[in-house]
């Protein structure tokens, strides 16, 4: 399953760099496209940065009843993001969130990528694909956040994507 998670993450990250090269974050002195896998961060739960996409993985399960040694599986991925807007007053929070929504919808297309083993360099093609559902945008929430000495309201959204894959092991 790790190859599936890595392949989905890398596809979104590479696509974000192409869609909006300016949407980056810096963590531990390293700047990269603003897509983060929360479980890979040093401190979990992660205190998310604004204007970045955070991936959190749910449990994996078989998809329906199937025959054969390779069974299709699925995992839910929750992609969270929030913004304070681009100005101190936050009056453009809605526009900034809509921009994040559009970027996410763009980087999720096409809804597939090749499955790769990124534990080696260069990565190795594993011969199958990872495919996913259309993103389901959740409700927008307004959250009061304390930043330094000021209280600001951020807008956030959680989006759900169902990711489908064939595992690297055979089932008996």
Specify the pLDDT at position 145: 80
Mean pLDDT confidence for 11-40: 94
146/160 Cα distance (integer angstroms) = 27
Residues 6+ positions from 157 with CB-CB distance below 8 Å? 80, 81, 82, 97, 100, 101, 137, 138, 139, 140, 141
- Going by the DSSP 8-state scheme, the letter that residue 98 receives in this structure is H
Query: Residue 131's pLDDT band (boundaries 50, 70, 90)?
Result: very high
For the chain, the C-alpha Rg in angstroms (whole number) is: 17
pTM comes to 0.90
Specify the pLDDT at position 65: 78
The string of pLDDT tens digits covering residues 55-108 is 999 999 989 877 766 789 999 999 999 999 888 777 899 999 999 999 999 999
The domain 2-165 having CATH identifier 3.30.2000: the answer here is yes
Do residues 126 and 118 lie in contact, with contact meaning Cβ atoms separated by under 8 Å? no
């Amino acid at each position: 399953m790790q190859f599936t998670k890595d392949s989905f993450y890398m596809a979104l990250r590479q696509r974000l760099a192409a869609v909006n090269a300016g949407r980056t974050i810096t963590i531990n002195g390293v700047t990269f496209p603003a897509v983060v896998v929360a479980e890979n961060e040093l401190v979990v739960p992660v205190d998310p940065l604004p204007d970045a996409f955070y991936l959190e993985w749910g449990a994996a399960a078989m998809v329906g009843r199937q025959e054969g040694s390779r069974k299709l599986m699925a995992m839910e991925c929750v992609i969270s993001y929030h913004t304070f807007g681009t100005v101190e007053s936050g009056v453009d929070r809605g526009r900034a969130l809509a921009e994040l929504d559009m970027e996410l919808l763009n980087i999720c297309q096409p809804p597939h990528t090749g499955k790769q083993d990124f534990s080696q360099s260069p990565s190795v093609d594993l011969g199958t694909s990872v495919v996913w559902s259309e993103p389901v945008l959740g409700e927008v929430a307004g959250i009061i956040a304390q930043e330094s000495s000021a209280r600001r309201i951020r807008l956030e959204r959680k989006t759900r994507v169902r990711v489908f894959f064939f595992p690297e092991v055979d089932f008996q």
